[in-house]
A and B are shown apart, each in its own frame.
Chain A
Amino acid sequence: MLKGQKRWGLFFFLAPVVLWLFVMIVLPHIDLLIMSFRIENDEGQQIWSLKNYLNFFEEPIYWLTFARTAIYSILVTFLTFVIALPVAFYITKVVKPKYQGFLLVLLLLPFWVSELVRVYGWMILLRESGVINHFLLKAGLLKQPIEMLYRDSTMILGLVYTSMLFMVVPIISVLDSLDNSLIEAAYDLGANMWTILFKIIIPHATPGIVSGSIVVFMLTLGNYLTPNLMGGKNSLWFTEQIYNQFIASFNWNQGSAFGFLLLVLSSIVVWLGLKLTRQNLKKVVQ
């Protein structure tokens, strides 16, 4: 009786989960892989071919965009880390404990707001008729308004801004568990600030830094909104190539190949990140 119940319980929980993971995740990705190896021939039939991948390597615009997206994503991840570490350190170790909760709420609040609204905010700040130009003209620092939007640097600014949360939160949670007496001991033994930073703080924070970096890298790589709106026509982000193939050219096979390449890149980087620091995904998400 009890055993039967147990089997039923397992089945009751297992069925919806298996259905979800196979129908919504596994099968669509298999379909993506299959589609990427097929093309439409002159008679309008789908045949097997490697052409989609050959196109990618033969057209410099495609693989250059791909490389550019990857390199900029690494840059964004690094910048986000450099900006986030002092903030996380300040909140966990420096500020008076009574302000800690307040600062933490303040830190999280903007990220509950839609990415679109945040990017839009930057657009009205930075554009030619924007708020920053208005103040610079008023102050006499500029004679002519300048277009600050649609540059690589603003695109990177936007991407760093959008992904900040995913770096700050994991670092805060690891620094929280760092014993203050370690820092005190090092200080008493004569270590300076940089030694403490590189010998104690960063090694201790590595799990948080890795999980933050993985999430930031992945989100930046797959971001469409921010490069598209803040980088404009020159943004050349790989997700835009995918979008163009799917929606504009209606070449789904080519788009699938691009999508699969992006998926492979993001998986490799996640895997490498985990391997290099000897972590596993299960630990990182918790």
Chain B
Amino acid sequence: MIRTLPTSKTYNRCFKLYIVFYFFFLFAPLFVTCVLAFNDSQFPSLPWKGFTLEWFTANLPQRVGIFNDQINLDSIWVSFRVAFFVTLLSLAVGTCASFLFEQEDFRFKQGLYFLMLAPLVVPGVILGISILLFSNTLGTHFETSWNLDVELFRPGFWLVVLGQFSFIATLVTLVVSARLRKFDRTLEEAAMNLGANRFEVIWHITLKFLRPALIGAGAVAFLMSFENFNTTLFLVGYEATLPINLYLQVRDGSTPVINAISFLLIVGTSLLALLNLYFSRKSK
């Protein structure tokens, strides 16, 4: 049954086999995607026709590797910019929210807290369409009332940033709050007795204490934004992010370039994941 209890051999073997199968199931699609990025074939499928790096580096008429594929490179750059701004915005607002819910007291605190959790239980698609609708309503209103044409209210880069921010900020709040709860508030009192004001205390002491959580939350926010599809789908303008761009390519047939991009994404996110793990271990 468990470690300390005697168990039959068959039970142990079956359990082990199950776990092996589970991990096989978990990694098979990723493994195959990576391997086929290096296959010297026009299609991402077997048989194996030899090892090649052409899907990364080539610039031939029939084969354009990812490093020369301008459309995909552009979308990667868009995703990077979106993720950067979403991370910045979510960290700022999420940290404010953590201080608000952990250290302040005010009326309707409970209600506001539940409102803060709401984005977790609203499907991403719904979030996308409601923000699209609302920005459109605002846009129409500004145009008819004041004859103003506001770029922000039309689907595009900044609307994507805001849409992703609206739920990623909740995640940041939860991560940062968990760390802030462990903060010893007598340190604040000590600093205040020595003449520091509230903001000096937060800047010099509390934020230093929160740093590992902020780094961790930032990494998660960046990744969530970089990979977001559901909400982005409705808010995207002519600048497609990487997931949207990949989706359009996968839907209309695929080339090993997609495998090459996937390979880079898998390697990149794994590194980020391990780095995040390292920091979260350190903060404990």
Contacts and interface: CB of A to CB of B under 8 A. Distances in A.
Contact of B113 (A5, A109, A282): A282
Contacts of A21: 112, 115-116
Contact of B106 (A10, A24, A122, A263): A10
Contacts of A187: 1, 5
Contacts of B47: 134
A94 B130 contact: no
A168 B93 CA distance: 30
Interface string B168-181: 01000010001000
B270 A109 contact: yes
Interface stretch (B29-37, B59-67, B207-215): B29-37
Contact of A6 (B124, B198, B226): B198
Q: DSSP class of B's interface residues: helix, strand, loop or mixed?
A: helix
Contacts of B251: 228-229
Nearest to A186: B1
Nearest to B262: A117
Interface string B239-279: 00001001100110010001100100110011011100100
B22 A83 contact: yes
Contacts of B247: 116, 225, 229
Interface stretch (A27-35, A51-59, A202-210): A27-35
A193 B262 contact: no
The interface size bin for chain B is 35 or more
Contacts of B163: 24
Interface in A180-223: 180, 183-184, 187, 193, 196, 214-215, 218-219, 221-223
A173 to B, nearest CB: 13
Interface in A124-162: 124-125, 127, 129-131, 134-135, 161
A246 B104 CA distance: 42
A75 to B, nearest CB: 18
Nearest to A84: B22
A181 B262 CA distance: 46
Contacts of A9: 99, 104, 198-199
A20 B161 CA distance: 13
Contacts, number: 248
Interface stretch (B50-58, B68-76, B227-235): B227-235
A10 B28 CA distance: 51
B139 interface: no
A259 B28 contact: no
Interface string B195-220: 00111000000000000000000000
A31 B96 contact: no
Interface string A1-44: 00001101110111011101100111111011001000000000
A106 B25 CA distance: 12
Contacts of A119: 250
A183 B250 CA distance: 49
A16 B97 CA distance: 8
A222 B254 contact: no
B168 to A, nearest CB: 11
B166 interface: yes
Most A CB contacts (10 A, CB to CB) among B15, B22, B106 go to B22
Contacts of B129: 32, 242, 246, 255-256, 259
B230 A222 contact: yes
Contacts of A113: 30, 265-266, 269-270
A32 B129 CA distance: 8
Contacts of B78: none
20 contacts: A13-B104, A16-B93, A24-B165, A31-B137, A32-B133, A94-B3, A105-B277, A110-B30, A112-B223, A112-B269, A114-B226, A118-B30, A120-B262, A121-B29, A121-B32, A125-B29, A161-B26, A218-B121, A243-B125, A262-B126
Given A25-B115, A86-B15, A184-B2, 8 more contacts: A21-B115, A24-B165, A121-B32, A124-B29, A184-B4, A196-B1, A259-B126, A281-B117
Interface of B: 1-5, 15, 18-19, 22-23, 25-30, 32-33, 36, 43-47, 92-93, 96-97, 99-100, 104, 106, 112-127, 129-134, 136-137, 162-163, 165-166, 169, 174, 178, 197-199, 223, 226-227, 229-230, 233-234, 243, 246-247, 250-251, 254, 258-259, 262, 265-266, 269-270, 272-274, 277
Interface of A: 5-6, 8-10, 12-14, 16-18, 20-21, 24-29, 31-32, 35, 83, 86-87, 90, 93-94, 96, 105-110, 112-125, 127, 129-131, 134-135, 161, 164, 180, 183-184, 187, 193, 196, 214-215, 218-219, 221-225, 228-229, 239, 242-243, 246-247, 252, 255-256, 259, 262-263, 266-267, 270, 281-282, 285-286
